[in-house]
Chains A and B, each alone.
Chain A
Amino acid sequence: MRLTDHEKAMLDGAHGPAKQKAMDLLLRYGNALGAERLVETRNVAGTIGATTPFMRKFADERGGLDAVFSEFNLDSAEVVAIPPVEVYSSHLQQGIDPEHAAQQGVGEEVVRIFRKGDAYSAGLGVQLLNTCTPYQVGNLPARGEHCAWMESSAVIYINAVLGARSNAEGRESTGAAMLTGRIPYWGYHIESERRGTHLVELDMPIESMSDWGMLGYYVGDKVQDKVPVITGAGLAPSTLKLKHFGAAAASSGGVEMYHIPGFTPEAPTVEAAFGGNRPREVFRFGPRELRETYENLNATARDPDVDFVMLGCPHYSIEQIWEVCRLLQGKRVHENTQLWIFTPRATKQIADQNGYTRIIEEAGGYLMSDTCSALGRVIPQGTKVAAVDSAKQVHYLPAIMGIQAWFGSTADCIEAAVTGRWKGGLR
């Protein structure tokens, strides 16, 4: 790879051992990709937390949080002192919600470690957004801005919806980027790599949130890590629908970029979306594909008695919390069922102000922040059957926790929370 003088100086250790390790990793990573150079970035989103049992043990045995950063953010077995970050860096979702530790079955010691980790991150200058959706709480990169973001659902959102440029980075590469302001210039940083490769034509209207989730799950499964272009009559995407669509497409496949001509910024037309590429394949999505996707998403679910309703994957916006409050008004969560809703910490504060947290709590549910069930492996004790409104969460949660999970609309999920029974279905 070609390096600038400043990059060479960092690699030679002129800016300290941590930046040297960071550059060494970026070089190994860039060479593996086949990248020719690095690109400057001033917006990084990653994770440096250590709340999982594995990470806590590692920190205890190897020398604290600098050891965790050295190994898991710089791929360095040698423990180096970590300096403050060089560029604007946001922390993604964490392993627990410290305010709901008891409900999540998390002991005081873990909460103490979590707070220590928050203080460590803040001390380095990492913003404690603690969400998978930094773009919902003020981190909105501009069109064309080179970013180094981890969290596949966020990367696809800033690429496709905002027109920013990021690959799906990992824990180690975002750690290195925080310290150096560099990331390999490869993939979606390059204009020509962002053009459409596959066409998806809709044979049915896609309206509800769950329709958008199922469409995303189908598209990801079909195109894997390529760039789909979605066309169809009467499409009316919204921030939330695109959030759900992208999260689903990024989990069933590895989609990091897509176009919806007329809506997403790099696709004024279908022709512009493909930018001279010929579609490699054309897929048609209609009622049959919708049904098939619905059945795939519900593959683990058999038992209609629901113990646990989990909402907020990706983290809920204030609009979604408002909607839940309207569905919950005057009702109570069933005695055999728990309702947990996840949102960014900053959004939770607005929900507190608006009285939504009280509405949810009075109904017997919880509004939680900072983590989610799949990432934190936090579910109510004894859960056998969950219900979720997220195609992404239903993809992961049963596999990670060994439980059954139903997928349906938000209204289906709230009904399950209130009655304790799954009555959802494809409508």
Chain B
Amino acid sequence: MSAQDSSTAVSRVIVLQGRGIVGGRAEGEALVTRDRISGWGGIDPRTGTVIETRHELRGVSFAGKVLVFPGAKGSSGWSGQFHIARISGMAPAAMLFNEMTTKIALGAVVTHAPSVTDFDIDPLSVIETGDWVRVDGDLGRVEVAKRARG
């Protein structure tokens, strides 16, 4: 399947198909990083902020965002930290990622945020921070409305 352009002139919509691993639907602004994310020691779950010293999102909050990233790294406290972020109301609205690990699988499951992986098109190649993204975790379907850039 290839990227589909919508017919509307207002914004370009791209559809990605993957495998939903946590069901449900959510939408929000994309927050995209090419750096893998550490859970424990990499985020502050009480604010949903990345704190890792040399991370490109350092100081940025993912709360309520559709987080698009390669995958998880670091401590096995990954799921526990995203779990706390959910209980604190600071979890991402949805998660889209490429690399399957136990950290991200368990982390996505306990975050209860609709999550999709195994995409036909690499989400990192088409989604940019600020795009509006609709995620259907049951169907594994992701719609990306490109933000108008001038």
Encoded as 1 (CB less than 8 Å from any B CB) or 0, chain A from 282 to 307 comes to 00000000000000100110000000
Q: Assess the A399–B42 pair: CB atoms within 8 A.
A: yes
Q: Are B46 and A172 in contact (CB under 8 A)?
A: no
A174 nearest CB neighbor, chain B only: B76
Could you say which of B4-12, B47-55, B61-69 contacts chain A?
Answer: B47-55
**B57 on interface, CB distance cutoff 8 Å:** no
- Considering the complex of A and B, which 6 residue pairs feature the smallest CB-CB distances, nearest first? A170-B79, A32-B21, A396-B41, A32-B105, A171-B80, A254-B73
Q: Are A28 and B109 in contact (CB under 8 A)?
A: yes
Name the residue of chain A whose CB is nearest to the CB of B41: A396
Given A155-B76, A254-B36: A72 and B51 interface contact (C-beta under 8 Å)? no
Q: How far is the CA of A58 from the CA of B22 in the complex (A)?
A: 25
Q: Which residues on the A side are within 8 Å of B75 (C-beta)? A: 151-152, 250-251, 396
Interface range on chain A (Cβ under 8 Å from partner): 35 or more
Chain B contact residue count (CB 8 A cutoff): 37
Q: Does any Cβ of A come within 8 Å of B99's Cβ?
A: yes
**CB <8 Å contact, B54 and A169:** no
Interchain CB contact under 8 A, A170 and B78: yes
Residues of A within 8 A of B (CB): 25, 28-29, 31-34, 54, 58, 71-72, 75, 150-152, 155, 167-173, 184, 186-187, 224-225, 250-251, 253-254, 296, 299-300, 374, 395-396, 398-400
**Alpha-carbon distance A253/B109, docked complex (angstroms):** 22
Interface string of B102-138 (1 = CB under 8 A from A): 1101111110000100000000000000000000000
User: Which B65-107 residues have C-beta < 8 A from chain A?
Assistant: 71-80, 83-84, 87-88, 99-103, 105-107
Least Cβ–Cβ distance between A406 and chain B, in angstroms: 14
Task: Determine whether the beta carbon of B107 is less than 8 Å from that of A299.
Answer: no
Cβ B109 vs Cβ A171 within 8 A = no
Cβ A398 vs Cβ B41 within 8 A: no
Q: Are B21 and A169 in contact (CB under 8 A)?
A: no
Q: Is the CB of A152 within 8 A of B80?
A: no
